[in-house]
């Protein structure tokens, strides 16, 4: 049965399609290949998720080699959910990319772009699917290196600098991670994640294990841009091509967060309870600082993409805040927000990319008065923006509800107050966009253009629709997030 | 059509109308016809529910589960019936008035104005018909968002600044305080459904009950309890029909409606009075009544004076509700209706004066009564209703409040009502006096009444105010049911 090999195909299809794209010299053919490959992904991910939900975790032995000798792909509710998010976002962005890239990247380089896009996708899906710690590192490098290039291909010269910055920091992160994995291997003699979890307790209090844990934690925090390790993110997002930004913002940091959860809760849970790995006070203060600092920074940006990038740092703070609460409810809130933030930030970056399509950096001066000429675009931005604030009827509200509930369940009313209080900062920075677009007079010298082309507008509005749809129908997101949280905590699903 | 379906239809009518209005944007006559027809249809739908509710029926729709235990659901009870009835009747009158006003003043962007208005009405009905806190919150936020474009309608720097205050205070207070309160209730009580007798008894300690009430009272920024009142004077930059229907009726009444509803159906009057958690609110509401009246006294701009008067009158409703006796709850419910008719008349008159003479300040109104007899006559009726003098609606609600204050020996509340009555007289009396008994300054260009739709509208609402005094049966019956009386 082909369906038995879905865990492998999930990663192998984009991995194999990538070199084909690179070899084709025609940008349209390359796009078509990338489109077909990425459109197939959500179906595979959906099938995997359904199977996990009905039959429990899937263990797939690569090449038929039995773990822990061979590489095992292990899919449970948490990573099946993530696979679906990443592949769905990648598939939605692909139709958008065709015209958007035409304006942003020289035509002869576009096949390379599609190849890198697929490699990056394969890397992220691989990180999510694999059950082997070293394999994680391999895919981490595949995803990272292709990401650097995806950013550097941006039209803006500053994209080069941003990519270089990210390359340095990203490499530090990946290296830290592999050093940490090395320590664990030395101590236990295994790289299989499930096996690591079994064997670590026997060597629990030895220093190399603790050092390994520290390296892994810091390395992953660099990748997920936890304050104050977020420095690379705003520039990278601001100057990359629109399609890259939307793709990375919705997926890349989310995969890093997933890995963090996997290591904290699956690998180390039996060795050190979560409360000992991350001292809650430090973890929560870093998350809170991320929220306050990045939201405030977002308010003062002139470049809209940079503003959204800072907002991403802040939203990651909400996710880590949920993790820091440390209960099942907190973890559910974090996982729900991984999905919800992916959807809304993806929508926002795609919509802003549609303004960039007509040239020029998207600044507040540039969008002044644009609301009347691009009504659908800005209606979408307003809706997704309301979702960032957490207005009911949007996914942002669902996240906020779970987060506040989790905080109150522990009796941490001050944390609940902090969560709702800081949403006002999102109100300010998203409100600025709406106000500029609808109530500020347009620059008379500006080019007169209408909506972006339909092939870009439809994918963007599809994500906006998802922001509203999943705000009412939470069966998929919230229920699966709860099961994923239970799974990570080692409880019966 | 079953009553439950009617609930949905009544909300769907303005929602659908907003789309039709947008489509008919190029043809003003057709567009206005859509607004008027929708207003009429909505009123008919709402009115058709009245006999059922009077007979004790409590229609409810099915539920759509959003989060575990959190549902989207509509249900009707007497207070919501009263609120919906008032809002939908006044929308008809206000639409007529809007047509006269918007055309008379050549306002720009009329299509988006009518679209937002229709959405705001849909949200208002949604609030009136909500069966639980979550549904209520959803429509509450929709009302804020749909009225924001109306506040910044002029798009002047002043209007944009006012819009910021409006959005920030209303959305801010609701997301930070109101939402926290809602989550807390769902978490502790396990439900957010409005039930006679309340849902929180046993789930919260007395201290927590007190805090929860504070979260609700200040979180519902639309009720304009000080210090959450700043958005209301700011919103006065909007065109006058917006101030009239939304910022004297729909939006602000939605605020006090929520407060009364939460006191009656979430806390439960008996529970709250047994715990004694509401005592402090008597003082805050009383303070708001007096302070807002004093500020109103100092305003020369007519609309701002009316706005502060609204702040003060809204706290009457809260004050009445928190006295926690059946009589006072009846007074609170009646005052929602009475103040609506009185205040919309006053705003209609202010807009009429502006349309006919472009005057906005109180000090400019000398002698205007003889030039605009209908307008100023209606203004006088509205002012009497605010003061609480027969034969107007304000007298009826004030009667119940004073009786309740006597019964419960709440002398502070009694003093507040008496002092503020004097203050009301002090800031409305001189306007009426100057309009009729002072001479107009020499050399002023002559002008007559405003266009006829405006005059008709304000006459209707003034008569409505008198009608409620003469025949208060319907609102009284609904208010009695709210207070626990048999249907």
Chain A and chain B share a number of CB contacts under 8 A equal to 73
Q: Residue B200 has what pLDDT?
A: 85
CB contact under 8 A, A391 and B163: no
Contact A470, A477 (CB under 8 A): yes
Tell whether A308 is covered by a domain: yes
Hey, is the C-beta of A409 within 8 angstroms of any chain B C-beta?
Answer: yes
Q: Residue B487 has what pLDDT?
A: 45
Q: Residue A182 has what pLDDT?
A: 93
Hey, is the C-beta of B192 within 8 angstroms of any chain A C-beta?
Answer: no
Q: Which domain holds residue A347?
A: 278-493
pTM: 0.89
CB contact under 8 A, B168 and A427: yes
For residue range A14-41, list pLDDT tens digits in order: 999 999 988 888 889 999 999 999 999 9
Q: Residue A277 has what pLDDT?
A: 65
Segments in chain B below pLDDT 70 = 485-487
Separation of alpha carbons B166 and B184, rounded Å? 26
Identify the three-state secondary structure at position A132.
strand
Tell whether A195 is covered by a domain: no
Q: Residue B1 has what pLDDT?
A: 76
Hey, is the C-beta of B171 within 8 angstroms of any chain A C-beta?
Answer: yes
Domain count, chain A: 1
Separation of alpha carbons B76 and B129, rounded Å? 5
Tell whether A426 is covered by a domain: yes
Separation of alpha carbons B90 and A330, rounded Å? 47
Q: Residue A199 has what pLDDT?
A: 86
CB contact under 8 A, B145 and A405: no
- Taking the CA of residue B408 as centre, how many other CA atoms within 13 Å lie in the half-sphere pointing to its CB? 22
Q: Residue A88 has what pLDDT?
A: 94
Distance from CA of B14 to the nearest CA of A (A): 19
Residue B427 is encoded by which pair of tokens?
């800031």
Q: Residue A149 has what pLDDT?
A: 92
Contact B390, B467 (CB under 8 A): no
Which of these, B3, B202, B162, B188, lies nearest to B84 by C-alpha position? B3
Segments in chain A below pLDDT 50 = none
Q: Residue B143 has what pLDDT?
A: 92
Contacts of A369 in chain B (CB under 8 A): none
CB contact under 8 A, B66 and A474: yes
Q: ipTM of the predicted structure?
A: 0.84
**For testing the chain B interface, which of A381, A392, A426 should be mutated: the one with the most B CBs within 10 Å?**
A392
B contact residues 72-131, partner A, Cβ 8 Å cutoff: 72
Contacts of B108 in chain A (CB under 8 A): none
Q: Residue A280 has what pLDDT?
A: 79
Q: Residue A403 has what pLDDT?
A: 92
Tell whether A429 is covered by a domain: yes
For residue range A312-348, list pLDDT tens digits in order: 999 999 999 999 888 888 999 999 999 999 999 999 9
Q: Residue B485 has what pLDDT?
A: 62
Q: Residue A493 has what pLDDT?
A: 52
Q: Residue A63 has what pLDDT?
A: 81
Hey, is the C-beta of B172 within 8 angstroms of any chain A C-beta?
Answer: yes
């Amino acid at each position: 049965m082909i369906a038995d090999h879905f865990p492998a195909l999930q990663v192998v299809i984009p991995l194999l399609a990538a070199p084909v794209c690179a070899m084709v010299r025609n940008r349209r053919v390359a796009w078509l290949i990338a489109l077909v490959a990425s459109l197939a992904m959500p179906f595979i991910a959906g099938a995997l998720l359904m199977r996990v939900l009905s039959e429990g975790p899937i263990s797939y032995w690569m090449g038929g080699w039995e773990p822990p000798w061979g590489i095992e792909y292990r899919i449970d509710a948490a990573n099946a959910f993530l696979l679906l998010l990443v592949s769905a976002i990648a598939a939605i962005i692909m139709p958008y990319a065709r015209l958007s890239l035409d304006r942003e990247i020289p035509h002869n380089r576009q096949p390379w772009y599609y190849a890198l896009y697929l490699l990056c996708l394969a890397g992220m899906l691989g990180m999510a699917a694999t059950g082997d710690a070293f394999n994680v590192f391999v895919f981490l490098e595949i995803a990272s290196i292709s990401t650097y290039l995806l950013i550097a291909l941006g039209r803006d010269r500053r994209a080069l600098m941003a990519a270089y910055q990210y390359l340095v920091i990203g490499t530090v992160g990946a290296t830290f991670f592999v050093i940490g994995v090395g320590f664990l291997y030395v101590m236990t003699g295994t790289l299989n994640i499930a096996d690591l979890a079994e064997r670590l307790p026997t060597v629990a209090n030895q220093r190399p294990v603790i050092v390994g844990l520290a390296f892994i934690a810091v390395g992953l925090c660099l990748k997920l841009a936890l304050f104050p390790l977020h420095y690379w993110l705003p520039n990278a997002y601001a100057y990359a091509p629109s399609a890259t930004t939307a793709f990375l913002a919705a997926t890349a940091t989310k995969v890093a967060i997933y890995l963090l959860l996997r290591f904290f809760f699956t690998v180390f849970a039996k060795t050190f309870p979560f409360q000992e790995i991350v001292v809650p006070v430090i973890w929560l203060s870093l998350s809170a600082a991320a929220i306050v600092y990045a939201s405030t920074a977002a308010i003062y940006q002139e470049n809209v993409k940079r503003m959204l990038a800072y907002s991403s740092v802040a939203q990651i703070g909400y996710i880590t805040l949920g993790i820091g609460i440390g209960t099942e409810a907190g973890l559910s809130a974090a996982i729900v927000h991984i999905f919800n933030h992916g959807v809304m930030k993806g929508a926002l970056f795609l919509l802003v990319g549609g303004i960039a399509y007509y040239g020029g950096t998207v600044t507040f001066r540039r969008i002044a008065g644009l609301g009347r000429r691009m009504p659908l675009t800005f209606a979408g931005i307003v809706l997704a923006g309301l979702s960032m604030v957490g207005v009911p009827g949007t996914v942002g509200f669902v996240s906020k509800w779970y987060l506040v509930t989790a905080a109150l369940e522990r009796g941490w009313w001050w944390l609940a107050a902090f969560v709702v209080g800081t949403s006002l900062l999102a109100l300010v920075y998203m409100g600025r966009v709406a106000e500029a677009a609808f109530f500020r007079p347009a620059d008379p010298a500006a080019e007169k253009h209408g909506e972006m082309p339909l092939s870009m507008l439809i994918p963007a509005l599809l994500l906006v629709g998802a922001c509203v749809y999943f705000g009412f129908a939470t069966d998929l997101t919230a229920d699966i997030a709860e099961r994923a949280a239970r799974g990570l905590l080692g409880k019966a699903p | 059509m079953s009553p439950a379906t009617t609930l949905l239809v009544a909300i769907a009518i303005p929602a659908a109308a907003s789309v039709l209005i947008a489509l008919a944007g190029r043809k003003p006559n057709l567009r206005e016809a859509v607004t008027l027809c929708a207003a009429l249809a909505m009123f008919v739908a709402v009115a058709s529910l009245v006999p059922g509710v009077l007979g004790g029926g409590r229609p409810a729709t099915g539920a759509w589960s959003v989060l575990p235990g959190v549902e989207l659901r509509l249900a009707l009870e007497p207070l919501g019936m009263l609120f919906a009835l008032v809002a939908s009747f006044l929308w008809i009158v206000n639409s007529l008035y809007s047509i006269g006003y918007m055309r008379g003043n050549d306002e720009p962007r009329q299509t988006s104005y009518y679209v937002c208005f229709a959405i705001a009405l849909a949200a208002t009905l949604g609030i009136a018909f909500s069966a639980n806190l979550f549904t209520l919150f959803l429509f509450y936020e929709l009302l804020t968002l749909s009225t924001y474009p109306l506040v910044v309608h002029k798009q002047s720097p002043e209007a944009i600044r006012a819009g910021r205050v409006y959005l920030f205070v209303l959305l801010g207070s609701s997301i930070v305080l109101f939402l926290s309160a809602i989550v807390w209730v769902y978490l502790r009580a396990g439900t957010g459904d409005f039930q006679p007798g309340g849902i929180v008894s046993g789930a919260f300690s007395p201290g927590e009950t007190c805090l929860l009430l504070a979260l609700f009272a200040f979180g519902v920024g639309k009720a304009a309890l000080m210090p959450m009142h700043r958005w209301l004077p700011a919103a006065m930059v909007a065109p006058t029909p917006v101030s009239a229907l939304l910022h004297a009726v729909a939006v602000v009444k939605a605020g006090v409606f929520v407060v009364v509803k939460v006191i009656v159906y979430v806390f439960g009057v008996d529970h709250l009075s047994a715990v004694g958690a509401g005592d402090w609110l008597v003082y805050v509401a009383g303070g708001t009544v007096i302070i807002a009246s004093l500020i109103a006294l100092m305003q020369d701009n007519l609309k701002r004076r009316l706005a502060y008067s609204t702040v003060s009158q809204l706290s009457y409703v809260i004050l009445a509700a928190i006295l926690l006796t059946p009589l006072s709850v009846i007074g609170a419910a009646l005052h929602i209706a009475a103040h609506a008719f009185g205040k919309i008349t006053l705003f209609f008159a202010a807009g009429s004066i502006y349309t006919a003479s472009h005057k906005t300040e109180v000090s400019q109104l000398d002698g205007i009564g003889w030039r605009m007899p209908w307008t100023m006559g209606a203004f006088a009726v509205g002012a009497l209703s605010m003061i609480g003098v027969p034969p107007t609606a304000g007298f009826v609600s004030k009667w119940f409040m004073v009786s309740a204050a006597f019964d419960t020996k709440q002398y502070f509340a009694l003093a507040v009502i008496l002092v503020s009555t004097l203050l009301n007289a002090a800031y409305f009396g001189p306007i009426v006096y100057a309009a009729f008994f002072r001479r107009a300054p020499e050399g002023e260009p002559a002008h007559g009444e405003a266009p006829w739709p405006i005059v008709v509208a304000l006459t209707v609402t003034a008569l409505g105010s008198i009608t409620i005094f003469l025949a208060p049966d319907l609102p009284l019956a609904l208010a009695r049911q709210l207070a626990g009386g048999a249907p």
